[in-house]
Structure 1
Amino acid sequence: MLTLTKVTGLDLCLACVGVYLLKQVFKKKNPAYPPGPPGWPLIGSVLDMPNVRPWLTFTEWGKKYGDISHIEVLGQHIMALNSLETAMDMLDNKSAIYSDRPVLPVAGELIGWRNIMGFLPYGDRLRRHRKNFHHVIGTRAAVGVYNQVEEMETRRFLKRVLTTPDQPQAHIRHTAGAVILRISHGYEVKENNDPFIDLADRVMYHWSRATAPGAFVADVIPFLVKIPEWFPGAGFKRLAREWHDTLEELVSAPHKFVLDQMAAGIAPESFTSNLLGGGTLSADEEHDVKWSAAALYSGASDTTVSTVHSFFLAMTLFPDVQKKAQSELDAVVGSDRLPSFADQDSLPYVGALVKEALRWHAVVPTGFPHCVSEDDVHDGYYIPKGSLIIPNIWFMLNDPERYADPSQFNPERFLANDGKTPETEPRTICFGFGRRICIHLAEASVWLSIAMSLAVFNISKAVENGVEITPEIDPLSGTISHPKPFKCSIKPRSAKAVALVEQDANY
């Protein structure tokens, strides 16, 4: 007669070990993973994953381990790329398998960013979003339709800076939001305390924090999202619920504004009204319209804010660059009018300055992670399906082998002077890899803000109690990195400049 014996915990553990050993014996042998920090038994490299200025840690890994560094965090493989050529080979040239996006349990699922284009997996919905974008901002010609909106709002920006020059970052944010909301929803913002601008600022701050590498432990230990909010250590769930509600409001409130305007027959032309005006939409189609418009804001506004703010920092620290750009503006444009997009090709130094602003401060220092959709072997290294691929954009823009003296703000590196070959075009790096939908709109906004500001303002170090204050170059952490808050002095260049700024911004 068969006797049933009690199965103990030790029996189960031994059985699991046995199964694991059998799998190790019989599983298919793959090439080695790329090198990286060795990690610890059971938990892997969970303690090595940085959450503050991760680009600096990735750079140190690159020096030690090479172009691709690998860590494994509780079964999740993560590859940090420290080479432009490697990033382009993998993320651009092999985009068919490297274009997927990771599922971020907190940012994507709990907060709700899974619905926005940057988080969508490859498929029909992503293709619909891209199609929506391409018609509106997919080419320079398409973006050119909004030149008048850009010029009008940038004139208003100059007026705000002239009136309260001690608040440049607030004015930059207001202007970027005003441009995008006019394009996305036909909404004209209020001069002060606009509800949509304030809402969008909060949402973009949340997004930058929530999507940064290592932001939440639950992103690498997904089962933590199942624990109740009251459980010790579950404060992230309460935070995610608050951020979810704010995101939903940003997506829905401007969309309702457009629907109400269309019902009243007074809706101005916009990205949203154009997409809604083609007849009755299904629930899925309207969902795509709402989230495409939200992606338009998130994709172009905060990057513009960061770059233009870093431009003011650079002009404070590098006055000789400012003087050269102003000399070119004075010679080409003169002092009787403001520069416009029509002057762009005639202002090569200003154009090079814009490129250097994009390079000198990496707006998205670690890009946004890609996810490989099938096993791959790259440069002899095994990249398993599901691996997160993080390009270290900050290092690529500060690589001393590519950019001479990278800490210096030097626009001339992008000019072919004295037979010198210009250094690598930063736009191929700074906007990330794969499809870069918002690149044309962001570049146009940055160029105009910089050209107009240089034409009418002198930017210099602030003086307090007779002492000059030298700002610190200290980029903040986040998916979108902003310069550390700093003080500077902004004064009109002349009485003529004041008159130009005070002209009716609606011209």
Structure 2
Amino acid sequence: MGWWYINGRPYSGEVQHFFSDPPTMSVDLLHFDAINPTLCLVLTVAFIIVNRLAAGKARFLPPGPRPLPVVGNIFGIKVNEPWITYKEWAQIHGNIVYSRLFGQEIIILNSEEVAKDLLERRSRNYSDRPQYITTDLFGWSFHLGNRGYGNEFRQQRRQFHQAFHTKAALKYHPVQLRRVNQLLVHLLETPENYANHLQTLNTSVIMEVTYGYDPAPHHDHLVALVERATALFVKENTADKAIIFNALPFLQYIPPWFPGANFQRKALQCQKLTAEMIEAPFQYTKQSIAAGTAIPSSMLYDLFSRIPEDDPSYELAMKSSTATAFSSGSETSSSLLQIFVLAMLFNPDVQQKAQLEIDAVVGRNRLPDFSDRPSLPYVEAVFRETLRWRPVVPLGVPHATTNDDNFEGYFIPKGATIVTNIWAMAQNEDKYPEPSKYKPERFFTADGKLNDDTLGFVFGFGRRVCAGRHIGDATVWAAIASILAVFNVTKAKDEHGDDIEVIPQWTNGITVHPLPFPCCFEPRLGGMTSSQMM
């Protein structure tokens, strides 16, 4: 029998004696003499297991579906709707689910309460972001939402907070109302292009708020630039593709001309668009400031007024901060408004009830403004239900752990990707009975007052909560209230005068919204002209 060294001391005996010892000691195999190679391998594996158990915390990972070798759980996920798969897993395994995709460990949080426990109450350990090769390939490493948690993130976040915190966002209300009025005119003149008009509304608000730039009402170059770059990134850079590239990093070196390298071609296209999207509006504002023609209320103007002379990194951070605002707000807000239009098409009773409230509070001689918001509780409930019914970012933006952690008896490893299933939280049947139905009434208490559920979870958690949420919230609310005041959203008619039935089809990617569908925007006041809306 060969010699063993346990805790630095020689030991000779039967194998079963060793395995009967408590697994709390530190065990090191130094050498074997005249021992069977197969047994050596078995014992080596055993030593590794014992050492892991002896190291401290036991690795009781959260429950989840059994992964396949190498590829993990990739074949068990609905590619276009992974949030549905994750919710199904939660019904089997609980609200915290472990899965693997290739070598990446993924923890899926299907409960709002669990997400708050980890991402807010333990935010120090859960505020990082997974770093994906595809983010660099598409040129989106600049984005605040993609940055790892560190000094660059904190500097950029401070700049965002200065421009978009609750009180600072109030100064942008006139811009938002003016742009909403322009939206109404566009809907009156060319209602069939409503999806483009909703996109233009949000992009124009963000561009004026961020850069002081007044885009052309149609076919503006910078507006088209951000829309194309953002659409490419959110559609192509899905979590499964990102993890595959991280697991097989050689894929990034496949040249765009190679047969089948469509992803690389789109990445290169997006990279060029994104570079121009970051630089062009920034230079516009910089030149406007130098010429004395800049709008003083814009985010970038404010940041330039505070630029420290001894910090060359500040201007680079400004470019990233403003480009983040520019690219984020337009995509999520326009998607939310398209969901609102679909909801009104399917729920004419909700539309009518909201319109009656607006007529009673605001009247028909003017449009709603932000001073009316506290007096329009049902419209507020419509806004909240639109957030809940079909979340725009159904899986949020993933977090990452910076250290090992233990939660409710489960081990959560360092470097794990943390996915918040916003869709599952919004479909929580205990909190939102009949969750598939569009019911604004769910936000009222028994005495008819609005409850305190503002759907904060749709904007993210902890230190990574959406920094521009106050701007987006105000733009979407103003658009909802004004569309309800001016138009009836109804079904379109075919050539025989019959209603065209709509079966919604949805985009897939980081953000989700319905594909354009036929509908009509009928003015509630007959003979209304565009000049009356301005």
In structure 1, C-alpha distance between the alignment counterparts of 2:411 and 2:353, rounded to whole Å: 50
The whole-number CA distance in structure 2 between the counterparts of 1:272 and 1:424 is 34
Deviation at 1:185, TM superposition (A): 0.4
For residues 468-489 of structure 1, what are the alpha-carbon distances to aligned partners after superposition, in whole Å with 9 as ceiling and x for unaligned? 1232244321111111321111
Q: CA deviation at 1:235?
A: 3.6
2:62 paired residue among 15, 31, 34: 34
| Equivalent-residue separation in structure 2 for 1:89 and 1:216 (angstroms) | 27
Which one-letter code corresponds to 1:463 in the other structure?
Answer: K
**Structure 2, unaligned stretches of length 5 or more?**
1-37
How far 1:151 moved relative to its partner? 0.7
Q: 1:408 aligns with which of 403, 423, 437?
A: 437
Aligned to 2:403: 374
Please give the alpha-carbon distance, in whole angstroms, between the structure 1 residues aligned to 2:219 and 2:502: 28
The secondary structure found in structure 2 opposite 1:133 is: helix
* Residue of structure 1 equivalent to 2:229: 203
> What is the CA deviation profile of residues 279-325 of structure 1, one whole-angstrom value per residue up to 9, with x for unaligned ones?
55744211100110011123322111011111111111100001111
| Contact residue 50 and residue 57 of structure 1 kept, 8 A | yes
Which amino acid letter does the alignment assign opposite residue 264 of structure 1? A
| Rounded Cα–Cα distance in structure 2 between residues aligned with 1:226 and 1:161 | 44
Shift of 1:226: 4.6
Q: Please say if 1:71 is aligned against 2:94.
A: no
Aligned with 2:187 (options 156, 161, 178): 161
Task: Tell me how far apart the structure 1 counterparts of residues 355 and 182 of structure 2 sit (CA, whole Å).
Answer: 21
Q: 2:481 aligns with which of 441, 446, 451?
A: 451
| C-alpha separation in 2, matches of 1:291 and 1:370 | 20
What are the within-5 Å matches in structure 2 for residues 81-100 of structure 1?
81-100=109-128
SS in 2 for 1:115: coil
1:151 maps to amino acid: L
Tell me what 2:197 maps to.
171
Q: Return 418-427 or 203-212, whichever deviates more.
A: 418-427
Matched position secondary structure for 2:491:
strand
Distance of aligned partners of 1:484 and 1:20 in 2 relative to their CA distance in 1, 3 Å threshold: farther
Please state if 1:349 is matched with 2:353.
Answer: no
Deviation of 1:240 after TM superposition, in Å, equals: 1.5
CA displacement, residues 382-423 of structure 1 (integer Å, 9 cap, x when unaligned): 11000001111111111211112112111111122x437867
Give the structure 1 partner of residue 522 of structure 2.
Answer: 491
- 1:475 aligns with 506
Shift of 1:50: 4.4
* 1:255-277 deviation line (CA, Å, top 9, x unaligned): 01112212222111211122123
Contact (CA 8 Å) 2:104, 2:243: kept in 1 or not? no
**Cα distance in 2 between the residues matched to 1:18 and 1:231:** 47
Match of 1:237 among 264, 271, 275: 264
1: CA distance between counterparts of 2:189 and 2:451?
39
Task: Tell me, yes or no, if the aligned pair for 2:163 and 2:302 is still in contact at 8 Å.
Answer: no
Answer yes or no: is the 8 Å Cα contact 2:143–2:323 preserved in 1.
yes
Q: Equivalent residue for 1:133?
A: 160
1:329 deviates by 0.6
Matched-pair contact (CA < 8 Å) for 1:132–1:292: yes
- Which of structures 1 and 2 has the bigger CA Rg? 2
Q: Structure 1 residue aligned with 2:330, among 293, 298, 301?
A: 301
The TM-score normalised by the length of structure 1 is 0.91
Counterpart-to-counterpart distance in 2, 1:504 and 1:67: 48
**How far off its partner does 1:26 sit?**
2.1
- For residues 180 and 19 of structure 1, do their structure 2 counterparts lie closer, same or farther at Cα, with a shift above 3 Å needed? farther
In 2, the alpha carbon distance for the partners of 1:452 and 1:241 equals 40
Cα distance 1:421–1:458, how it changes in 2: closer, same or farther (>3 A)?
closer
Q: Which residue among 21, 24, 49 is the counterpart of 1:24?
A: 49
- AA matched with 1:419: D
CA–CA separation in structure 2 for the residues paired with 1:126 and 1:100: 10
- Mapped to 1, the partners of 2:115 and 2:128 lie a distance apart of 15
Cα distance, 1:345 vs. partner? 0.8
- What whole-Å deviation, never above 9, does each CA across 1:345-391 have from its counterpart, x for those lacking one? 11111111111111112011000100011101112111100000111
Hey, what's the Cα distance between the residues in 1 that align with 2:458 and 2:239? Answer: 17
Indicate conservation of the 8 Å contact 2:102/2:243, yes or no: no
Aligned residue for 2:520, secondary structure, equals strand
> How well do the aligned residues superpose, as a CA RMSD in angstroms?
2.4
CA contact (8 A) 2:394 2:511 kept: yes
| Alignment: residue pair count | 489
Could you tell me which runs of 5 or more consecutive residues in structure 1 were left unpaired when the two chains were aligned.
1-12
TM-score (norm 2): 0.86
Secondary structure at 1:382 match in 2: strand
Residue 22 of structure 2 aligns with which residue?
Answer: none
C-alpha distance in structure 2 between counterparts of 1:17 and 1:252, whole Å: 59
> Could you say what secondary structure the match of 1:490 adopts?
strand
Q: Distance in 1 between matches of 2:41 and 2:177?
A: 66
Q: CA 1:46–1:190 in 2, change beyond 3 Å: closer, same or farther? A: same
